[in-house]
Structure 1
């Protein structure tokens, strides 16, 4: 097959897949994870059910792919926050605040718990732990953060603490939470 034809087919497949995942996103936004059915997905994506089944065997596979995409988007957002210019403490605050925003968006229920058991979640969590640990190391080297506890342990503390944001109703509550977490990272006199 000519290269142009292959690239065109690949681009089409990617566009259809993205349209399906966008449809899932809209259905989830409107009615939660249980609102995603193959019929609704096909209708919302503007494709036939037979075409949908060529891409995904069932709604669970669509939800898994949608969740993988969400995790990738969130991780990209967190990496951008870590890469901002400025002191490590300021960048760490940005990462924790962004992660708190992600935690507040989580969907509850058994299906959501199942989606969070995938390898893509554990890989993203490991990557995020490394990002936070690197910022803590940088902050400790600058004298702005404590160095008496290993950075990996402090990163785990940060991630577990910031998960409390999932129960917070306001942005100001999240800001207070992030300030408390950062206060726990201050150097010990």
Structure 2
């Protein structure tokens, strides 16, 4: 898996071959084919592992942060972190090679927005319990936050530098939190 991840980082999905992965791993192609029937299965396993590592690291980091605004700001900055992180590699592959990514990753991890929405849901539920936000539909609000995070993380802006933590927190306080206060009792649909 380490060799497959290295090839994905260096070459992407299309340009990575089973032979290159085998050579880098120090095993034969035949050995790899006994464990993975084809390139899609091999690279899919590597993508799933990257995905699991990224979400685990992210939950660990955000679990130590207080308040939904600070958690979202941390999530945005985590998404913008070093090129070598599992999350940035996954995002790059999803954007640059979407068909190949979907084929390798499978339906379970192919959708970036659903993954991000599921990631943010428990944080929004906790924020609702603390009274920080009030949402009518937790699933809908989680998807909306996922889309905001994705946009701020990946799309350049003339008005906001997402690497400027105080400015980012200020904008989240001004725009995101009021949008998450619907004025009705929070509902955490299960």
- TM-score over 0.5 (shorter chain): yes
1:54–1:177 distance in 2 versus 1, CA, 3 Å: farther
Contact 1:89 1:135 (8 Å CA) reproduced: no
What does residue 130 of structure 2 align with?
A: 142
In the TM superposition, residue 33 of structure 1 has moved relative to its aligned partner by: 1.6
What does residue 56 of structure 2 align with?
A: 76
Would you say how many aligned residue pairs link Structure 1 and Structure 2? 166
What does residue 141 of structure 2 align with?
A: 154
What does residue 118 of structure 1 align with?
A: 107
Mapping for residues 39-188 of structure 1, pairs under 5 Å: 39-99=19-79, 101=81, 102=87, 105-107=91-93, 108-109=96-97, 110-115=99-104, 117-121=106-110, 125=114, 129-145=117-133, 147-164=134-151, 165-168=153-156, 172-173=161-162, 180-181=171-172, 183-186=175-178, 187=181
Contact 1:71 1:124 (8 Å CA) reproduced: no
Q: Name whichever structure is richer in helix by fraction.
A: 1
* Per-residue deviation, residues 56-102 of structure 1 (Å, max 9, x unmatched): 12211111101100110111022113311533432343234334553
Gaps of 5+ in 2: 82-86, 184-190
In the TM superposition, residue 47 of structure 1 has moved relative to its aligned partner by: 0.8
1:81–1:124 distance in 2 versus 1, CA, 3 Å: farther
Which structure has the larger Rg? Answer: 1
Q: Which has the higher contact order (CA 8 A, sep 6+)?
A: 2
TM score, norm. by length of structure 2? 0.68
RMSD: 3.4
1:65–1:35 distance in 2 versus 1, CA, 3 Å: same
Tell me, in whole angstroms, the C-alpha distance in 2 between the residues paired with 1:48 and 1:116: 24
TM score, norm. by length of structure 1? 0.69
* Per-residue deviation, residues 86-125 of structure 1 (Å, max 9, x unmatched): 3343234323433455368422123124345521446994
Tell me, in whole angstroms, the C-alpha distance in 2 between the residues paired with 1:115 and 1:177: 35
Gaps of 5+ in 1: 1-20
Tell me, in whole angstroms, the C-alpha distance in 2 between the residues paired with 1:103 and 1:30: 13
Contact 1:75 1:124 (8 Å CA) reproduced: no
